């Protein structure tokens, strides 16, 4: 199934069945090393499967959670990474890709914030020099007849609020995007989840380049950046634009595009 078909209906799940997930499904989600390659070449990230969800939940109450509250699930997945430039972006990209794969297999997931990394590292027996960067709950969604998901769907800004042409706050019209075959890319990119669904990103198109601009005060410390790069890149590939993100950004681009001081350009995608 196409990436774009999956993410339009994909939801965060906070209520899970208490049954374990078949190992074959977990293995398919985690895949091989080639399946979890992110935006950084030769990165040394690893996905850790936490099988005993009940013990993890009881041990980590207060140490991780969704808005500070740990979500009880049969299992959890964590990404452990060395510290290198853009390692948080890379982990966000990888973990969100695992969430999409899980959804395709009928599994639900929920992003969890890491409140006490030291305690989490001790639990997972992680090397001191490494970080536990990303954490999700995973399992079969609970669909009992006596419990209905009443969570409101998050509102998201439209394309014309997110995409600028050749400069900050210079709106990019849908007609222009249509003429270049770019509309679907930005349409599906806007479904990318973010902390508090704040959508702390904007895009600037200049010729064959698309720049990703991020709010310097974003809460996720890089995770959200990796997530939006995944959504944009996968949607672009399905539209026939087979480029990739470049995080080695030249200096003074903020001045060139009149970027305000509380924002910065962090990546460029060559169409």
Residues 101 and 222 in one domain: no
CATH of the domain at 42: 3.40.109.10
212 has pLDDT over 90: yes
Residues 233 and 261 in one domain: yes
What are 151-203's pLDDT values in tens digits?
Answer: 545 567 889 999 999 999 999 999 999 999 999 999 999 999 998 888 999 99
pLDDT at 154: 55
42 has pLDDT over 50: yes
The burial class, CB within 10 Å (0-12 / 13-18 / 19+), for 24 is: exposed
Show Cβ contacts of residue 46 under 8 Å, excluding neighbours closer than 6 positions.
79, 80, 81
230 has pLDDT over 60: yes
Residues 121 and 164 in one domain: no
Residues 129 and 18 in one domain: yes
Rg of the Cα atoms in the chain: 19
Structure pTM? 0.92
Q: Among 41-50, 65-74, 146-155, whose mean pLDDT is lowest?
A: 146-155
Is 150 among the domain residues? no
Domain hosting 206: range is 159-270
Could you tell me which of 228, 208, 209 has the C-alpha nearest to residue 218? Answer: 228
């Amino acid at each position: 199934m196409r990436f774009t078909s999956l993410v339009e209906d994909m939801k965060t799940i906070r209520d899970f069945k208490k049954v374990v997930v078949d190992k074959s499904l977990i293995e398919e989600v985690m895949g091989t090393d080639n399946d979890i390659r992110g935006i950084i070449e030769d990165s040394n990230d690893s996905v850790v499967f936490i099988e005993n969800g009940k013990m993890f939940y009881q041990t980590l109450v207060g140490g991780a959670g969704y808005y500070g509250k740990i979500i009880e699930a049969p299992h959890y997945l964590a990404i452990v990474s060395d510290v290198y430039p853009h390692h948080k972006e890379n982990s966000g990209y990888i973990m969100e890709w695992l969430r999409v794969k899980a959804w395709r297999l009928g599994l639900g997931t929920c992003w969890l914030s890491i409140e006490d990394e030291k305690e989490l590292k001790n639990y997972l027996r992680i090397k001191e020099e490494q970080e536990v960067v990303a954490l999700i709950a995973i399992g079969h969604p609970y669909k009992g007849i006596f419990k209905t998901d009443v969570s409101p769907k998050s509102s998201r800004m439209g394309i014309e609020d997110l995409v600028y042409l050749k400069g900050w706050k210079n709106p990019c019209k849908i007609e222009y995007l249509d003429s270049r075959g770019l509309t679907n890319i930005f349409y599906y990119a806007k479904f990318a989840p973010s902390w508090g669904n704040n959508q702390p990103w904007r895009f600037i198109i200049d010729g064959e380049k698309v720049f990703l601009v991020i709010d310097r005060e974003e809460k996720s410390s890089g995770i959200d950046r990796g997530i939006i790069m995944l959504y944009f890149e996968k949607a672009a590939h399905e539209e026939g634009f087979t480029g990739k993100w470049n995080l080695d950004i030249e200096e003074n681009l903020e001045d060139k595009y009149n970027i305000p001081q509380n924002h910065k350009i962090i990546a460029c995608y060559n169409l």
